[in-house]
Amino acid sequence: MSSDKSPEGPLEGRLALVTGASKGIGAATAKALAAAGAHVVLTGRDVRALEAIEDEIHDAGGASTIAPVDLTEADGIARLATAIAGRWDKLDILVLSAAYLPTLTPVTQIDPKQFGTAITVNLIATQAMLAAFDPLLKRSGHGRVIGLTSSVGAQPRAYWSAYGSTKAAFESLLESYAAEVEKIGNVRVAIVDPGATRTAMRAKAYPGEDPKTVKEPSRVGERLVALLSDDFETGHRERVPETA
């Protein structure tokens, strides 16, 4: 169902995996990567939503494969890695976009179940993804990992503790991994804060905000493609600007 892509794409021939690819920034990033020539593996829980993104990619002349996975399932990531390793011998790009936002609340009123889900999706799954795909990233010779974070990870804010604490740990995990692989291969790691972006998660956190006052997810996807196309040093950090 796919068609030929332009051979001039800056990411032509590379395999990319994007978590949380069914909507928001993950979906926009997947489409941008495919437009740049990469074959994109779309992961997420919502199969229909993934199929819709895949159709958009194919209609635009790109290539993608859907791989539904629930990051809260203990063996879901292992099965995903096994499936990908059975089809491809390397992974060039891993974008960690999936995240869970618990209800904003004081520290003393955090819902334990929601907090547990946030820890699982935002932190435990990240470690599992790095462990599962590290061998394929190292085989690439040009492996790149981009983790999407939030400003509340580095700058604690009232009522954001359940989410912000998981993002702080997320960043620490990625920075440790970056330091561990820097001297033993070509895997490079970057942490990117998308900033205010028009997503369902943003609407949940700021229900009274006019969505037109914040940038579209496509802006983030375009910036990530530019970052991957120009290359970067491991440990790179940036925030996507609010204006072009």
Which range (1-10, 25-34, 117-126, 212-221) has the least confidence? 1-10
Q: Report how far apart the first and last C-alpha atoms of the chain are (Å, whole number).
A: 34
The single residue listed with the structure tokens 């520290």 is 107
Show the domains of the chain with their CATH numbers: 15-239 (3.40.50.720)
The count of other CB atoms within 10 Å of the CB of residue 192 is 23
State yes or no: pLDDT of 5 exceeds 50: no
The pLDDT > 90 percentage for the chain reads: 81
With residue 172 as reference, give the H or E element that holds it. Answer: helix 161-181
> Rounded to the nearest 5°, which phi and psi values hold at 10?
-65, -20
CA angle centred on 160, ends 157 and 163, rounded to 5°? 125
DSSP 234: T
Q: What is the pLDDT of residue 36?
A: 97
* pTM for the full predicted model: 0.94
Q: pLDDT category, 2, cuts 50, 70, 90?
A: very low
Q: How many CA atoms lie within 13 A of 181 on its CB side?
A: 27
Which one-letter amino acid corresponds to residue 188?
R
Q: pLDDT category, 7, cuts 50, 70, 90?
A: low
pLDDT in tens, 19-54: 999 999 999 999 999 999 999 999 999 999 999 999
State yes or no: pLDDT of 221 exceeds 70: yes
Active site residues: 163
Q: pLDDT category, 6, cuts 50, 70, 90?
A: very low
State yes or no: pLDDT of 244 exceeds 70: no
State yes or no: pLDDT of 81 exceeds 80: yes
Task: Give the three-class secondary structure for 198.
Answer: coil
